[in-house]
Amino acid sequence: MRARSAPVVAIVAGLAATGLAFFSSAGAENTPTHDGSKRMASAVFAGGCFWCVESDFDKVDGVIDTISGYTGGHVAKPTYKQVSGEDTGHYEAVKVTYDPDVVTYDYLVSYFLHHVDPTDADGQFCDKGDSYRTAIFVANPEERTIAEADIAAVEASGVLPAPVVTQVISADTFWPAEDYHQNYYIKNPIKYRYYRASCGRDGRVKELWGESAATH
């Protein structure tokens, strides 16, 4: 990382819930494997610093695993140095593996939006550059429908001071980041907490979303 109105909401949320009920398990591969175990589903989100996105999603019930990595660009097997140089087209992203019987894709999208600044077209918090922009990488039409509906619901609520610029992008190859980036917040708790605080991530999220960030 680089150092350094209520009635409208209720109406839109109700319409989204009604219209998308049958999509709630989008992205799930919830069929038994040959040994009888259940397959998990996966989703990919780009929300700036992948250390932070990984940490945020690890707090969600039903999330089984998170992997930091790169996606959306034109370079195979990119390195952190290449991606941070802003010439690969890749985003810093996190692949979230989850149990669709415990948490829905719809919930994960809403949770993601409420833990980033979806109005920032230049990056996230103190990290600026194309690789730090927000995006939701969708694997199928059902995921796209849910992601676009959740963004529309946020826009209709009027809670944010500017339009949502988070993109919904067709999923591409996900390249895991170097080992030292995985679970960074666990391996280096002091450095991670300092980075997160100094970057202003939590302060900006609270400023934008208020108490709703804590409930999503």
Residues with a known catalytic role:
49
**Residues composing the chain:** 216
- CA-CA distance, 73 to 162, in Å (whole number)? 27
Contact status, residue 154 vs residue 64, Cβ threshold 8 Å: no
Which residues does 66 contact at the CB level (< 8 Å), separation at least 6?
A: 53, 54, 57, 58, 94, 95, 96, 97
Reference 70, options 140, 144, 172; nearest CA is: 172
Q: Give φ, ψ of 96 to 5 degrees.
A: -105, 120
Radius of gyration of the chain (CA): 17
- Roughly what angle, to the nearest 10 degrees, separates helices 50-57 and 189-199? 110
